[in-house]
A and B are shown apart, each in its own frame.
Chain A
Amino acid sequence: AQKVTQAQTEISVVEKEDVTLDCVYETRDTTYYLFWYKQPPSGELVFLIRRNSFDEQNEISGRYSWNFQKSTSSFNFTITASQVVDSAVYFCARKAAGNKLTFGGGTRVLVKP
């Protein structure tokens, strides 16, 4: 199986610090999409960002930014100036041929006031 690996199981920061979440994926496909989802304590997965494999331009959206590097199969995600409401589990996911999302194991982020 082509895995998505999130090596960090838990990150704890103090409010206003930046948080970077690592994601490494395996794929044999030339075309694929990468996603980040947030799962707050309520349990509902919330879509954050999507990136396609043929566009490595990194972007910023509000306090979120991401660093996609195809050469290292990494898709890292940064929250700038973290807030308590950012406390959640964050999942990286990959979508290739077919319609399945393959998720990583998640990284729990705890932002302390």
Chain B
Amino acid sequence: GAGVSQTPSNKVTEKGKYVELRCDPISGHTALYWYRQSLGQGPEFLIYFQGTGAADDSGLPNDRFFAVRPEGSVSTLKIQRTERGDSAVYLCASSPSPGGVSGANVLTFGAGSRLTVL
């Protein structure tokens, strides 16, 4: 697609429920990232995929959070047993390749999925 698409744009759920957030990256982008942005703060890294594999999941806060990218394109962020503290905007980004440090590719972000846990 032309840009990074995230669905749903808004999700309201009750504490303890399971939630899935979807990200459709720019076509051909091999690197995909998930970030979380709490109100009034900067985005915080959650996980990064290179192709189908999670190359770095060090930002996932606990084992209730899990993400997959089975075919190397669309990714789903899954949150089990949601808590009120999980309320935030979940941002997805993609880039042509990770680039490492020598060639830092620019990340293109989606508009985010706003999750509210009641």
Interface residues of chain A, those whose CB is within 8 Å of chain B, are 4, 29, 31-33, 35, 37, 42-47, 50, 52, 91, 93, 95-106
Judged by a CB distance under 8 angstroms, whether B44 is at the interface is yes
Evaluate contact between A103 and B111: CB separation under 8 angstroms. no
Most buried by A among B31, B35, B50: B35
Out of A33, A99, A103, which one reaches B44, CB within 8 Å? A103
Using known A-B contacts A31-B102, A32-B101, A50-B104, determine if residue A44 contacts B42 with beta carbons closer than 8 Å.
no
Min distance, Cβ B53 to any Cβ of chain A, angstroms: 13
Q: How large is the interface on B (under 10, 10 to 19, 20 to 34, 35 or more residues)?
A: 20 to 34
Would B111 and A43 count as touching, CB distance under 8 A? yes
- The answer, among A32, A42, A47, for a CB contact under 8 Å with B108, is A47
